[in-house]
Copies of this chain bind each other. A is one copy, B any other.
Amino acid sequence: MDKNIPEIYALLQDLSWYFGNQGFNSICCEELTLVEYMALKKVYDTQNITIHELGESLNVTKSGISKIIDRLENKSQVSREYSSTDGRVCCVVPTEKGKAEIHKISKRFSDYLYEILGDLGEESLQNIKDSLALLFMAIQEKGYIKPD
């Protein structure tokens, strides 16, 4: 195995800490937890996504995702709309408030990154973005790490 791979792993793990719960909790995002934000983002990015699909996408059980959507709905960030073609299925859509929240949080973090990376040239930024995009696509295709 290329010796770079364990180092890439270690860096990813450490970086993830900053963008995971620990970095996220203490922030401007007011009333959203990380998992709520991730769910909201997924709802925002995907038309008519079902609760079932949301759970799979976030690697949360169906009862877990149901409660996450409960909380988002109580906070008026999303609303449930039952499918007219399949009475079992519940689609989730973002409210206007939810859409605004997404933009706000994204901007907050982008500002933070800008303070950090603003000095780099566009070429470096492009390079970083390409590396991350490559990683993400590969990992998304592979799916979550599964138990042995």
Number of interface residues of A (CB under 8 A): 70
Binary CB contact string for chain A from 47 to 68 against chain B (1 if under 8 A, 0 otherwise): 0000000000011100000000
CB distance from A119 to the nearest CB of B (A): 9
A19/B8 in contact, CB under 8 A: no
Chain B residues near A38: list those with CB within 8 A.
13, 17
Instruction: List A residues 11-28 near B (Cβ within 8 Å).
Output: 11-24, 26-28
Q: A136-B15, A145-B109 are in contact. Are A127 and B125 (CB under 8 A)?
A: no
Chain B residues near A100: list those with CB within 8 A.
none
A110/B145 in contact, CB under 8 A: no
* Secondary structure call for the A interface: helix
Chain B residues near A109: list those with CB within 8 A.
9, 13, 145
Chain B residues near A146: list those with CB within 8 A.
26-27
Interface residues of A (CB under 8 A from B): 1-2, 4-24, 26-28, 34-35, 38, 41, 58-60, 106-118, 120, 122, 124-129, 131-136, 138-142, 144-148
Given contacts A4-B122, A15-B19, A17-B58, 17 further A-B contacts (CB under 8 A): A1-B118, A4-B129, A5-B110, A7-B129, A8-B113, A9-B113, A12-B19, A13-B41, A15-B15, A15-B16, A23-B145, A26-B147, A109-B145, A115-B142, A116-B139, A116-B142, A120-B134
